[in-house]
A and B are shown apart, each in its own frame.
Chain A
Amino acid sequence: MEPSEELAAASAGDRDAQAEERKLVVAILQKDRKATAEFIARYTDPVYRYVRSRLVPRLDLVDDLVQEVFLAAWENLAAYRGDSPMGSWLLGIARHKVENYYRTRLRAPLPLEEASLKAPKVTMELDINELLDHRRLQEKAHSVLATLPETYRLALLWRYWEQRSAQQMATETGKTEKAIERLLARAREMFRERWKND
């Protein structure tokens, strides 16, 4: 198949998927119980995976947060315009819920100890095989993250996994940017130590 034909087929597939999603949304808004069941069967796994990866190791919080995502989706479904795929829309809600959790936890007073805010640029020493094996790298990072104190873990997840700047995190938590940078510096330092010892 020519690339142009492939593209046409792909967009036709996208159009079909969008039309199907719109149909599902209309049926859910009409409170069709089978459509609601289909909605849950289809989208719970990706939402669950995302939330779990952002709250690890607090697995006890995952189920409630995933449920909140679907209830919020129902409350806002009438506003869903289909501009993005349903899965992405739901992940947007999930991200909002996860960040709410980070915000609440990091709003608590932070320890006042001075840390290496002006520390020289630090490098990480990696085994070349680790560097090549991305999955192994991620698995190790997650297992190290799981051992960190909650504020450190959430700060790193928020900064790097959710790609928020220190300034955005400061605005969201009502702290100064310097306080967030200090927190991140301490979190990275502890992460580095545990990475070496892992």
Chain B
Amino acid sequence: MTSRIPEEEFFELVAAGAEPGSAAVTAPTKLKSRIYSALMLRQAAGGPLASLTRTKAAGHALCVFEELVQIAPLGEQVKSLNFCRVCHARVAAEYWEKAPIYWPNCPYVKFQGR
């Protein structure tokens, strides 16, 4: 059985509402990782990041490497550097959809949904 509807109405009907399969579509984890790295670079280019001490005081948990830097007897300026830039977790997460990184409180692990 068929029905005829005006063409304009047809397009309006089809374009309205959710996209096909929209609930199932999620962004690739490596895209999230690349966006995070790009934003960190952009933020660091305009001056130091919030120091790890400040981040921890704000209630955020640090990853194992950040924790080591945070407890080290270093100045706040050093603790404000973009450490993720030199971390292997970043490289792995930017290139692998399921990167073999598992330690807690790392942003790149967070994007993997672990």
A→B interface (CB under 8 Å): 27, 30-37, 40-41, 44-45, 47-50, 52-53, 63, 66-67, 70-71, 74, 121-129, 131, 134-135, 137-139, 141-142, 156, 159-161, 163, 188, 192
The bracket for how many chain B residues form the interface is: 35 or more
Q: Are B58 and A40 in contact (CB under 8 A)?
A: no
Q: Are B107 and A123 in contact (CB under 8 A)?
A: no
In the bound complex, residues from chain B placing their C-beta under 8 Å from that of A45 are: 25-27
Q: Once the chains are docked, how many angstroms separate the CA of A58 from the CA of B1?
A: 35
Residue from the list A48, A121, A156 in contact with B31, Cβ < 8 A: A48
Q: Are A30 and B50 in contact (CB under 8 A)?
A: yes
In the bound complex, residues from chain A placing their C-beta under 8 Å from that of B43 are: 31, 36, 74
Q: Are A66 and B35 in contact (CB under 8 A)?
A: yes
Q: Once the chains are docked, how many angstroms separate the CA of A97 from the CA of B38?
A: 18
Q: Are B25 and A49 in contact (CB under 8 A)?
A: yes
Residue from the list A27, A37, A47, A126 in contact with B36, Cβ < 8 A: A37
Q: Are B111 and A41 in contact (CB under 8 A)?
A: yes
Q: Are B40 and A36 in contact (CB under 8 A)?
A: yes
Secondary structure call for the A interface:
helix
Shortest distance from the beta carbon of B50 to any chain A beta carbon, whole Å: 4
In the bound complex, residues from chain A placing their C-beta under 8 Å from that of B98 are: none
Flag B66-102 by CB within 8 Å of A: 1 or 0 each: 0000000000000000101000000000000000000
Q: Are A126 and B10 in contact (CB under 8 A)?
A: yes
Q: Are A156 and B4 in contact (CB under 8 A)?
A: no
Interface core residue of B1, B3, B10, B49 (most chain A CB under 10 Å):
B10
Check A138/B54 contact, CB under 8 A, given A37-B36, A44-B31, A126-B3.
Answer: no
Q: Are B3 and A128 in contact (CB under 8 A)?
A: yes
Q: Once the chains are docked, how many angstroms separate the CA of A30 from the CA of B11?
A: 45
Residue from the list B6, B13, B32 in contact with A121, Cβ < 8 A: B6
In the bound complex, residues from chain B placing their C-beta under 8 Å from that of A125 are: 2-4
